[in-house]
Amino acid sequence: MRVLEVASEATPFAKTGGLADVAGALPEALCRLGCETTLVIPAYREALAKGLPIEPTDLAFEVPIGTRRPVARILKCRLPDARGEVFLVANDDYYDRPGLYGSPDDYPDNAERYIFFSRAALELAGRQATSFDIIHCHDWQTGLVPAYQKLLYKSWPAVANAKTVMTIHNMAYQGMFWQWDMLLTGIDWQHFNWEQMEFYGQLNLLKTGLVFADAITTVSPTYAREIQQSPGGCGLEGVLAARSELLTGIVNGIDTQAWDPGNDPHIPRAYSEHDVDLGKYAARVALAARLGRAAPDARPLVAFVGRLAEQKGVELVVELISRMAGSGRAHFVVLGTGNRWYEEALQRTAASFPGTVDVVIGFDEGLAHLVQAAADITLVPSRFEPCGLTQLYAFRYGSIPVVRATGGLVDTVVDTNPDTLARGVASGFTFDAIDPMALEHALGRALDAHADRELWTRLVRHVMRQDWSWEHSGRDYVRLFERTLSRP
C-alpha cells in the first residue's frame, strides 16, 4: 500500500504542537507495518536551518494561485535509519519566515500559503512514477487536498484512484478565511455553498476536507463522539454527524525511542519499572540544580508541562497551586509558554511560594523530558483534549497523571478506585467538572495514594508497562486504510 502523508509540520523538521509529532512518527510506523510512505511538508526556514540532510531535486513546477503561477521547488530528505521518503515544498515568499503560521498573530496570507502547499502536494504526487493508494491529510492546512483530488486532479493517473483520509487534530482550528480567497483555489464558485466549502460567508478549509474526504479520523474515540455535537464540533458538528459512518477515532501513539527513560540523553540516569525510584531521584537532583536549588524537595513533585492556553485548563492550575502551595503536601513545577496573563499569574504565584513552586516560562525539549522523569504526578486538566500526548509521556516515565475526563484523556487514563485497582487497570486520577475544587480533590486522591508505597508502586509499574507506541496506533490506521480502499 502506497501512502502519501500531507502535513503542515512534522518532527524533526518543524513543530508547533502535537500535529508535528504525529506527522513525524506515523509514516515510519506505517513503513514498519509494510506500507510505502511519502511525507510532504513545507520547506520552512526552521526546517532548513536544522542541519538535516535536505537536498535539492531537479523538480520544480508552477502552481496556479488565482491569476498568479508561483513556483514550487521540491527538496528531498532521507533521515538516518528512515524508510519513508520526505519531500519539502519550497517557496521563499511563503515559507522563509520566522514562524510557521505567524506569532502572535496569524500571517495575513495564510490562506494563500496553504492553498499553494495543498495544490503543490498533489502536483508533486501526480509527477511520481507509481500511483498512491491513500492520501492522508492532516488538519485545515491540507483541507483542500481532498477537494483538489476529486475536482481538479481526477484525470491524473498517480492520484486519481487514491482514497483520501482527513485527520482532525483539533476542531478549534478550522482555517477560516474571507470568501474572496476562494478565487485563489481555482475551484469553481459552485462549490462555495453551505454543504461544501462555505461556512457563514467564509471559506472554511477544514470543512472542505471533511466534505470531500473518503474517510475522516480524529485522534481518540471519545473526541470522535464529542465533535458530533455542540460545543465540541465548533460549528461543524452537523457536517460530522452527517458523515458519522466515515468517522473513526484512533488514539495517537508516541515515539517510544525519543521518550524512553531507559535510553534518554536528557536525564542523568536511565531507569525502568524495576529501578524507577533510583531513576526519579537522580532526575530530581538534576532538576533541582537546573532550577537553582541545592537539593531536591522531599515532598511529592507535581508537574504541569504544556502550552499555557485556556484549552489546557491553566487557570485551574493557577488556582490549584495558589490554594495548595501552603499545605506542604507537594512541590509544584510548571514548564510552558503561551498566554501572557497565565505566564504572569504563574510567576506571581511562584514568587509567593519560593520554596514550593517553580515556574519556567519557555519551551525546552530536554527540560520537558527531565521534568517528566522527576515528577511523581503530572497534571493535565484540559477543558478539551482531542488526544493528548502529555499523559502518554507521563506513563512512559512512571509519572501518574491527574486528568480531566474529556477526549483522549478519558480514553487513555483509567481512574484509580477499588474496582480498577482490583482489576489491575488503574492508571491515574480523573475528574469531570471544569473547576479548581474538582482538580484539587483529584490531586488530593493522588497524593493520598502516593503515601501508600505499595499501591503507588503497583500504579507506576502498570503505567510503565503499557504500549502506546506508534506500532499499536499504526495498525489501526492500516485497518482503516484497507476498509477505505474496499469501499466503492
Q: Which residues of the chain have pLDDT under 50?
A: none
Judge contact between 349 and 325, C-beta under 8 A: yes
Quick one: pLDDT at residue 103?
79
What CATH number belongs to 276-467? 3.40.50.2000
Q: Which residues of 197-210 are buried (b: 16+ CB within 10 A; e: fewer)?
A: bbbeebbbbbbbbb
Contacts within 8 Å (CB) and 24+ apart, 227-233: 227/168, 227/171, 232/171, 232/384, 233/171
226-254 confidence digits (pLDDT tens) = 999 999 999 999 999 999 999 999 999 99
Dist. CA 135–CA 26, nearest whole Å: 13
For the domain spanning 2-253+471-486, the CATH number is 3.40.50.2000
Structure confidence at residue 104 (pLDDT): 76
CA Rg, the chain, in Å? 23
Closest CA to 199 of 215, 217, 181: 181
Q: Report the candidate in 374, 372, 391, 388 with the shortest Cα–Cα distance to residue 463.
A: 391
The answer to whether 480 and 165 have CB atoms below 8 angstroms apart is yes
Can you give the pTM of this predicted structure? 0.90
In 3D space, the residue among 369, 125, 183, 349 whose CA is nearest the CA of residue 269 turns out to be 369
Task: Report the pLDDT value the prediction gives residue 78, as an integer from 0 to 100.
Answer: 87
In which residue ranges of the chain is CATH 3.40.50.2000 found? 2-253+471-486, 276-467
First-to-last CA distance in the chain?
Answer: 17
Strand order in the sheet with 215-218: 54-62, 71-77, 85-90, 36-42, 2-6, 134-138, 163-168, 215-218, 247-249
How many whole angstroms separate alpha carbon 355 and alpha carbon 292?
11
Give how far Cα 170 sits from Cα of 24, 38, 199, 248, 330, Å: 17, 23, 18, 14, 33
CA distance 187 to 307: 37
Convert the pLDDT of each residue in 163-204 to its tens digit. 999 999 999 999 999 999 999 999 999 999 999 999 999 999
Tell how far CA 349 is from the center of its chain: 29
Q: What span, in angstroms and rounded, lies between the C-alpha atoms of 54 and 384? A: 37
Q: What is the pLDDT of residue 125?
A: 96
